A and B are shown apart, each in its own frame.
Chain A
Amino acid sequence: MDRPNAIAPDELVQRHARPGMSLVALLHAIQDDVGFVPPDTVAPLARTMNLSRAEVHGVITYYHHFRQAPAAPVTVQLCRAEACRSMGTEALAQHIEARTGCRFDAHKHDAHNHDHDHACDGAVGLESVYCLGQCALSPAMMINGELHAKVTPQKFDALLAAAMKRVEETV
């Protein structure tokens, strides 16, 4: 993906690197800044941390939290763990897929095949997560990092519409 205002990878790494900082902490700082860990930062990260590129790549890909591409403008993270399952999160997931035309975790399965899902235009990303700590108020989800509990299909539709509207307003 093009990053018109992207800063150079070296500069991005140097902006956040601090003495004694762990690689995981540095990756967090980069992702918190630009929304993902750009693949071209692997080489400068390796140099800065005195690690091999393979080790850096290994850490980035080990953790679910780190993204190697920007998140969709509206990113829905639905809890699929036991407590939410007991309150119908799987039915909610089906509703969400039908409503958005997107599939959960498509970014993982189709990393090299972005455009075969015609109904899903890239505006919405659906991700499964496992526990948001709201197990007494299931099902729970985050939309662009904002937490919502006791989500029903109707509530989701309203939240999605609001999130889409906010995205349109900022473009």
Chain B
Amino acid sequence: MTRIYVPRDSSALALGADALATAIVDEAKARGIDIELVRNGSRGLLYLEPLVEVQTSEGRIGYANVESEDVASLFDAGFIEGKATHAKHVGVVDEIPYLKKQQRLTFARIGITDPLSTDDYVANGGIVGLYNALAMSGDAAVDALIESGLRGRGGAAFPAGIKWRTVRAAKANQKYIVCNADEGDSGTFSDRLVMESDPFVLIEGMIIAGIVAGATVGHIYVRSEYPHSIATLEAAIVKARAAGWLGDSVLGSEHRFELFVAKGAGAYVCGEETALLESLEGKRGIVRAKPPLPALEGLFGKPTVINNVITLATVPIIFAKGAAFYKDFGMGRSRGTLPFQVAGNVKRGGLVELAFGCTLRELMFDYGGGTASGRPARAVQVGGPLGTYLPESQWDIPLDYEEYAKVGAVVGHGGLVIHDDTSNLADLAQYAMHFCALESCGKCTPCRIGSTRGVEVIQRIRNGDTSTKQVQLLRDLCDTMVSGSLCAMGGMTPFPVVSALDHFPEDFGLETAIPKAAA
């Protein structure tokens, strides 16, 4: 019997993977061939989706961009034996340079396993971290996490171990672990890949967090735009409970941990941690003033560890292989790896997990293969809608939190959106303000009003009023938003705007960038 893999993550589904899987089963039946169909996760090589794999003695042989119409010809060409005669054959998947050159730590298992098989998870290195964490004292576990250098992967890059230590030390009758899975940034999909392709790694990370921080309940807040992630997580939680990982006695220990999935409702600002907590409590997702920190007064006023998906999904490998192993990757104060998401106008888009220190140029060209349109790349927005646009002169800066901060840019969640030379950065700047106006929670004035005024000023400049006065007005407005907003929504929306103005003034109809008047 031959084992055939057809991914079940939403990228593959969006390109017809369900119909394809049915077609393969039907065709095998019609030909009297015995196959076992596995719905694996995605390998993260999204440009190859749907990527069908066939288990052979040489390894798993891939066939890329397969459509239902290709199925008969694949069988004719002997794909069941992994033969290379079909045009869609891409060879042994593990040997594809795009995958082979990566440093997959957090994403070690994606695409290899059936995301809902606990057996697969354990057979591929899963749950070791949880056993190790159970064998340590809570203080030693916190020290190990601090030692690993893991920083919040959602964008803020706050040391995860410090946050855990604060919650651990807090005295309360109930504490919570909350996973921020409100991945609303355009250009990012690594959280989604974890949830759809290896959900147990997130569950394991949250259980470890619960044990270390002394929390017995966890919530995963997933955006409503990710129905497949929600369904996969819910199914995985049922399996984890059945396996004894969740429940009254985690792996037979004295620790209790329960986990629930909560569905967001289409508000971008709920990716901000305090707005997320409000939403999880069932209220409007309005940003809270800090302090108090969520670590002390978080969900329902109780001490709460709130971390992003990737942060929590990285915890198991740190506990499985040790803090020193993880810390060994990376540069400066940015330790470990980041799953970069190569997206937008790019030939080979996908997930590229590498140690900190690689460059945009490497990701765009060595991995991405240049633009999808074939035209010259012009600007890359790094770190989501609140990240700056980087022109070619900045494509060789090492991707490291501190190196990026030096030029006013952010690494954020590691998403890259590539734009070619037909892009209009003034249009994108105006869109950034428009998006902020749509999504502002309305609590603070700079964000609520500033975003609408921002749209208007940029429109005036684009309409031909390129006077210094208008440009200064826009820069002053951006200053006010950066300094006066309560959270990153209003506080960082100026980043793409000002970077567009600084690096691409011609798109605004300006001859040169007009800097802010010397004070």
Write the residues of chain A forming the contact surface with B, with a CB cutoff of 8 angstroms.
21-28, 49, 58-59, 62-66, 79, 81-87, 129-138, 140, 145, 147-150
**Are B342 and A136 in contact (CB-based, < 8 A)?**
yes
When A25-B282, A86-B419 are in contact, do A135 and B186 touch as well, CB less than 8 Å? yes
The answer on a CB contact under 8 Å between A136 and B349 is yes
Inter-chain pairs besides A64-B267, A134-B11, A136-B343, 7 sampled, C-beta below 8 Å: A26-B282, A58-B284, A62-B284, A130-B435, A133-B183, A133-B226, A137-B46
Among B73-81, B83-91, B258-266, the stretch that binds chain A is B258-266
Q: Is the CB of A136 within 8 A of B10?
A: no
B359 at the interface (CB under 8 A from A): no
Known: A82-B417, A136-B349. A87 touches B282 (CB 8 A): no
Which residues of chain A come closer than 8 Å to B418, judged between CB atoms? 86
Most B C-beta atoms less than 10 A away, residue of A27, A85, A130, A131: A131
- Measured between C-beta atoms, what is the minimum distance from B185 to chain A in Å? 7
Q: Which residues of A contact B385 (CB under 8 A)?
A: 81-82
**Which residue of the partner chain, among A25, A27, A82, A147, contacts B262 with CB atoms under 8 Å?**
A25
The answer to whether A28 touches B265 (Cβ under 8 A) is yes
- Whether the pair A136, B350 counts as a contact (CB closer than 8 A) is yes
> B388 near A: Cβ within 8 Å?
no
Complex Cα spacing A93 to B381, Å: 22
B280 at the interface (CB under 8 A from A): yes
Q: Which of A59, A86, A147 contacts B14 (CB 8 A)?
A: A147
| In the complex, the 3 A-B pairs of residues with the closest C-beta atoms, listed nearest first | A136-B349, A22-B282, A81-B186
Q: Does A22 lie within 8 Å of B281, measured CB to CB? A: yes
B205-238 interface mask toward A, CB cutoff 8 Å, 1 = contact, 0 = none? 0000000000000000000111110000000000
Closest residue of chain A to B439, judged by CB?
A130
Contact assessment for A23 and B349 in the assembled complex, using a CB-CB cutoff below 8 Å:
no
Determine the chain A residues whose CB is within 8 A of the CB of B350 once the complex forms.
Answer: 136
Indicate if the CB atoms of A28 and B186 lie closer than 8 Å: no
Contacts of A145 in B (CB 8 A): 227
What are 8 sample pairs from A and B whose C-beta atoms fall under 8 A apart? A28-B265, A86-B420, A87-B345, A87-B372, A133-B192, A133-B225, A135-B189, A136-B350
Structural contact, B49 and A24, CB atoms closer than 8 A: no
A64, B279: Cα distance in complex, Å? 13
Q: Which residues of A contact B423 (CB under 8 A)?
A: 86
Within 8 A of A (CB), among B462-518: none
- Chain A interface, DSSP helix/strand/loop, else mixed: loop
Q: Which residues of A contact B46 (CB under 8 A)?
A: 136-137
- A35–B144 Cα distance when bound, in Å, is 48
**Chain B residues positioned under 8 Å from A24 (CB to CB):** 262-263, 265, 279-280, 282-283
Please name the residue on chain B nearest to A138 by beta carbon: B344
When C-beta atoms are compared, the residue in chain A nearest to B431 turns out to be A85
**Which residues of chain A are near B446, meaning CB under 8 Å?**
none
Give Cα A83–Cα B265 distance, bound, in whole angstroms.
21
The reply to whether A63 and B435 form a contact with Cβ atoms under 8 Å apart is no
Chain B, 349-381, CB within 8 A of any chain A CB: 349-350, 372, 381
- Min C-beta distance of B119 to chain A, whole Å: 28
Picked from A22, A64, A82, the residue with its CB within 8 Å of the CB of B186 is: A82
Please tell me if the beta carbons of A136 and B186 are within 8 angstroms of each other in the complex. no
Give the distance to chain B from A109, nearest Cβ to Cβ, in Å: 13
Knowing A24-B282, A136-B46, the reply to whether A149 touches B15 (Cβ < 8 A) is yes
Q: How far is the CB of A80 from chain B (nearest CB, A)?
A: 8
B428 touches A65 (CB 8 A): no
With a cutoff of 8 Å between Cβ atoms, the chain A residues found around residue B284 in the complex are 58-59, 62-63
Given contacts A81-B186, A130-B184, contact A66 B265 (CB under 8 A): yes
Cβ-defined partner of B282 (8 Å) among A59, A135, A136: A59
Residues of B with C-beta under 8 A to A135: 186-189, 341, 343-344, 349, 415, 417
Contact B265 A133 (CB under 8 A): no
Q: Say if the beta carbon of B13 comes within 8 Å of chain A.
A: yes
If A59-B284, A135-B187 touch, does A140 touch B14 (CB 8 Å cutoff)? yes
Q: How far is the CA of A129 from the CA of B14 in the complex (A)?
A: 16
* B200 proximal to A (CB < 8 A): no
Question: A29 vs B118: C-alpha distance in the bound complex, in angstroms?
Answer: 29
Q: Determine whether the beta carbon of A23 is less than 8 Å from that of B266.
A: no
Contacts of B47 in A (CB 8 A): 136
Contact with A along B159-189 (1 / 0, CB 8 A): 0000000000000000000000001111111
Mask, B425-444, CB within 8 Å of A = 1, is: 00010010001001100000
B226 partner residues in chain A, CB cutoff 8 A:
133
In chain B, what residue has the closest Cβ to A141? B14
Whether B263 contacts A25 by the Cβ 8 Å rule is: yes
By beta carbon, the residue of chain B nearest A55 is B283
The residue that A86 contacts in the complex, of B263, B283, B417, B438, with Cβ under 8 A, is B417
- Which residue of B has the minimal Cβ distance to A79? B186
Q: Are A62 and B420 in contact (CB under 8 A)?
A: no
Taking a contact as CB atoms under 8 Å apart, the answer to whether A63 and B266 are in contact is yes
CA of A149 to CA of B49, assembled, Å: 11
* Chain A residues within an 8 Å CB radius of B283: 23-24, 59
Chain A residue nearest to B226 (CB atoms) is: A133
Contacting pair B267 A149 (CB below 8 A): no
Q: List the B side residues contacting A21 at CB < 8 Å.
A: 282
A83–B267 Cα distance when bound, in Å, is 19
Closest residue of B by beta carbon distance from A28: B263
B162 vs chain A, min Cβ distance (A)? 29
Separation of A27 and B263 alpha carbons in the complex (Å): 11
Tell whether B285 is near chain A: CB-to-CB under 8 Å: yes
The answer to whether A134 touches B10, judged by C-beta atoms less than 8 angstroms apart, is: yes
Distance of B209 from chain A, by nearest CB (Å): 22
- How far is the CB of B342 from the nearest CB of chain A, in Å? 7
B282 touches A82 (CB 8 A): no
CB of B268 closer than 8 Å to a CB of A:
yes
Are the CB atoms of B14 and A130 closer together than 8 Å?
no
Chain A residues within an 8 Å CB radius of B267:
62-65
At the interface, yes or no: B346 with Cβ under 8 Å from chain A?
Answer: yes
